[in-house]
Structure 1
Amino acid sequence: MQIAILPAPTPAFEDLVNTHTDFCDGTAPAESCHRLPVSRLFTPDITVWVAHEGDALTGMGALKVLSPTEGEVKSMHTRAAQRGKGTARAILRTIIDAARAKGLTRLSLETGTNPLFGPAVALYRAAGFSDCPPFGDYVLDPHSLFLTLELTTAEAPA
């Protein structure tokens, strides 16, 4: 598996974002879905990584810098056929390492409460993320779970 920064959208990436959008939109009402469209992922405050196996794009994730000390994990998604093979873990490790390299001391995320998000929540908890209140522009929502990781004391996931 290869993980690399994606500097601009590609057709394969757009297809994966559409798959992610369909997945998220099927789990909660529209006002509770916080996934980003392709056009909002390629901005100066966001870095996008993709995983490839050969020519196949298998997963994605992004780091949004919220402030000089805080970042947010965005748009984590692994193709269904790749789940359970370490793709998401490798992307998350890359994001955590990049956040540390930028000098961020806190990394947070919002994910869904639908049972379909259970494997993602387990991945984040295994990486050291713990529950937190809404951050940034988020508000309490029964369809959202907020997690955070203190980067100054946490180890990168294995």
Structure 2
Amino acid sequence: MYAVVALDRWDNALHPTDPKVTVVEATELDVRPSVTVTRDWELGTMGYGTVIGGPEQDGPSIDWRCDRTAVCDTVAGYRISRWNATTKAYEPLHTGLLAADTRAYTDTTAARGATHFYTLEAVRADGTVVGTHAWNCVFQNRV
């Protein structure tokens, strides 16, 4: 339950429990993916760049490291996918795999003013995934 309380220009307001205050019931929209992703990235540290948004920012971004040499040497490339609520699936944001030496990605197609859900997968040449990292962010629409 939420109470809507107005302030006048002198900062006078009713207390939220005052019976004259309008009480509103609201249901929050659940935009979380319906598919569970197991985060099992043990290849190195993760960093996050542009997740808040602003006029100078191109989109949500992430950077990562792959420090476990024995495993990282088997990685043929990386796949970044974003949740599509319409199809109810994570869909790759690029064709094929990103190069094995890639360590950062920016989603320049992300809509501003929305919450986005992503996966980063480290993939071997045979298609097996050796590590998955899931994250989300709000790409704010600031001017």
TM bracket (short chain) = under 0.3
**TM-score, normalised with respect to structure 2:** 0.27
Structure number with the higher helix fraction is 1
Q: Which has the higher contact order (CA 8 A, sep 6+)?
A: 2
**TM-score, normalised with respect to structure 1:** 0.25
